[in-house]
Amino acid sequence: MGSPDSKVSRPLVFASALAPVLLLAGILYLLLARGTGIYLEAPAPIEKLEFERVVLRPGEIRAHVINTGPETLTLAQVQVGWISRASWEFEVAPSATISRLGRAVVRIPYPWTPGEPYEIVLITANNLIFSHEIEMAAETPTPDRQMLGAFALLGVYVGVIPVFLGILWLPFLRSLPQRWYFFFLSLTAGLLVFLGVDALEDALENAERVPGPFQGVAVILIGLSVSLLGLYAITGWLKQRRRQAKEMNTALLLAYSIAFGIGVHNLGEGLAIGGAYALGEFATSFLLVVGFMVHNLTEGVAVVAPVVRTEFNWRHLVWLGLVAGGPTIAGTLLGAFAYTALWAVLFLAVGAGAVFQVVIEIIRYQARLAGAGSLASGWSLAGFVLGLLVMYVTGLFVTV
Amino acid sequence: MVPRDRLLVSGLVLALVGAGVLLVVPGRRAAEKSGAASRAQAVEDAHARHRPPTQGSGLYQYAPPVGRRFDPSQVYDPAPPPPGRAPSGIREYTLVIEEDVPHEVAPGVVVPAWTFNRTVPGPVLRATEGETLRITLVNKGTLPHTIHFHGIHPATMDGVFELVPPGGQFIYEFVARPFGIMPYHCHSMPTSQHIHNGLYGMVIIDPKEGRKPMRELALVMSAFDLDRDGEADFYAWNGRAFQYADNPIELVRGEPVRLYVMNIFEEAMVPHLHGTLYHLYPSGTSLTPTEYTDVKSLNIAERALLEFQYDFPGDFMFQCHVTEHMEQGLMGWFHVVDKKDLARHRER
């Protein structure tokens, strides 16, 4: 055996890299041609069909389904449940025979009425049953001017207005004495930790709707870590640049980090709200909109907390608000008209990662300004706990 | 700086709300007007599909998708064997039990059924009161089976303890009595499973003096729970959901019809005819009707003999009046024609 650093010819290096791959391909070919030799047949056919999206139009229910089982399956019958189930006529496009990971749209000419609960039941030729519940039927929004306007407005109410209202506290925060500064920074950290955990919970909830092969929980892990580590790298790079150009102060940068983290979180939240509406699981009620407004008011405070003692151009406030609140509009629109659980999970996880990263930034910022000991001071601890409590109490208004 | 901040930010908020309102309000009225009209049209379209079989392909709220109708040759013949007497006085039948026979319970949906002579329900057996019924059970399945007959017979012919092993045979022999409609079904344990999976059928025992000859139909009401969740997924006349909706039963206007009907599922069922009423002979054990009605609740394993006729031609639904049962398969059509039209209709 030569030592690891002995010279080996290039082709040999390539061959050694490719050998396992080629051998695997060869074995797979043999297995495909001759079978595995393992004769373990399932006692019953294994089929899996999942609902990706259900669209309600007047006189029609449209179910978008995906075959996530190991084999091709054929849809044979459809029933619609209202108190009890009824067999109904249906059409499947492109085909009632759906290959693995293939998609199809089942059109059911059913005269549903608004506000009623329904169950869509699909029965395969192997007599397996897959069903989806519509908790409260409502016409699925079509992207016309009226509905686009309505969902954009929902985004404005839920995301933009509360953030700007929160920002309006800036003059009040500025009038408070110096020692309150760390109190509000810690309060922000508390708010953000709550938001992050909340987003993770939403992500896990939505992950249950993600078709099996797409591994919703793994998507959370990827979204969370990529956003956490990615933002870490980006803020590191920005700080370095700032040190060189002296164009932006650290406090403002932190405010933008917070705004960005909250923005991604709000995008995910908007997706979940719009998506829940599209799936017929949620009605936009006055109370709920009010609840979200109260809940998200705190986000505005979080955004401006770092810059309370800093002089800066007021235009930054507009940008901060838009970065934090604006994505909600995109979220509600995307969620309502193109909801898939996968995207909601991804954005919620990215949002959680961003929010957690910002918490780390806040802690480092405070430690640099006032020493690590200040983190354990009574003001900081009280602020952090109050941040959690504020989110909990305002969260009581939001019951999706 | 402080008051200016406040002013600017509140101005911005107001502008955003204003923009949102302006985005929505104009055009909303026009959209609502045209929206309501198209909505009403769509709902009308959905209902317009509910047509009787003679007025197009659509059937009342259920039409199988293209290519998914029942193969007419697979439809269970609703006509029972004719009444009569065996010259020897002995009625002989052979019932062969098989397991996991593919049974199309609704168009395109195939379940592994346990069957007598490869059909669900098993064949209608018929004898005249006082004749000897000799029924040979051949068990070609993998489990022990029996046949339990309702009626009056010795304990050894009751088909509860005489388990017939796989590959085995057993001959049930008893005098057919009393006259009426008697269910038969497997009584092997667990009986719920053996019955649910398809091992049931009807015995018609005619009175010695006979009944007035007329057109006869035999219908067994049952149900299938595909996912074993305790709730049936399809209900059926003679083992297949909607088979007489796909393939209506032709009747002649003014001609009397006798219907033998039996419920073998674990829920009460209510056979109901549209456009006429029936004379009811509960269990078929009497020669005089007890009631003239169009709904009769048949409890579990209960049966009835119904006599009726149609005074008008056209398409008349026959259904279970438990709407859930109807909507999951217990629905069919009588296509009533005038006698003079019959030949012409048959040609088509």
Asked if B23 is an interface residue toward chain A (Cβ–Cβ < 8 A), one would say yes
The mean predicted confidence, pLDDT, of chain A is 82
| Position A2 confidence tier, pLDDT thresholds 50, 70, 90 | very low
**Which of A98, A108, A127, A313 is best to mutate for the B interface (most B CBs within 10 A)?**
A127
pTM: 0.73
What is the residue whose two structure tokens read 């939240």?
A269
Residues counted in chain B? 348
Sheet strand arrangement including B90-106: B109-116, B90-106, B132-139, B169-175
ipTM of the complex as predicted: 0.80
A128-132, A216-220, A276-280, B100-104: least confident range = A276-280
- What is the widest separation between alpha-carbon atoms in chain B? 116
Higher-pLDDT residue of A249, B143? B143
Nearest of A275, A257, A269, A305 to residue A395 by alpha carbon: A269
| Position A397 confidence tier, pLDDT thresholds 50, 70, 90 | low
Q: Which three-class secondary structure state does DSSP give residue A204?
A: helix
- Tokens representing residue B343 in the block: 């030949």
- Tokens representing residue A313 in the block: 């151009």
Rg of the Cα trace of chain A?
Answer: 26
Nearest of B236, B72, B68 to residue A90 by alpha carbon: B68
A106-120, A128-142, B128-142, B230-244: least confident range = A128-142
Q: Which three-class secondary structure state does DSSP give residue A12?
A: helix
**Which of B105, B233, B320, B330 is best to mutate for the A interface (most A CBs within 10 A)?**
B233
Q: What is the pLDDT of residues A67-92, one digit of tens each?
A: 988 889 999 889 999 999 988 888 89
How do beta strands B215-224 and B234-237 pair? Answer: antiparallel
* Residue pairs between chains A and B whose CB atoms are closer than 8 Å: 144
The yes-or-no verdict on residue A322 having pLDDT over 50 is yes
| Minimum-distance CB partner of B16 among A90, A96, A161 | A161
**Which of B226, B237, B319 is best to mutate for the A interface (most A CBs within 10 A)?**
B226
| Position A248 confidence tier, pLDDT thresholds 50, 70, 90 | low
| Position A251 confidence tier, pLDDT thresholds 50, 70, 90 | confident
pLDDT of amino acid A263 = 87
Contact by Cβ (8 Å): A325, A163? yes
Q: What is the mean pLDDT of each run of 10 residues along chain B (348 residues)?
A: 56 62 51 66 68 47 54 90 94 97 91 96 97 97 96 95 94 97 96 96 97 97 94 95 88 96 96 97 97 96 97 92 93 89 63
How do beta strands B234-237 and B148-149 pair? Answer: unpaired
- Helix/strand/coil (H/E/C) assignment for every residue in B235-298: EEECCECCHHHHCCEEEECCCCEEEEEEECCCCCECEEECCCCEEEEECCCCCCCCEEECECCE
| Minimum-distance CB partner of B4 among A77, A109, A314 | A314
- Residue ranges of B 32-71 with Cβ closer than 8 A to chain A: 38-40, 42-47, 49, 58, 61-65, 68
CA distance B12 to chain A (A): 8
CA distance B303 to chain A (A): 25
| Minimum-distance CB partner of B20 among A90, A153, A164 | A153
Q: Which residue of A has its CA nearest to B30?
A: A146
| Position A353 confidence tier, pLDDT thresholds 50, 70, 90 | confident
| Phi and psi at residue A260, to the nearest 5° | -65, -45
Contact A85 B327 (CB under 8 A): yes
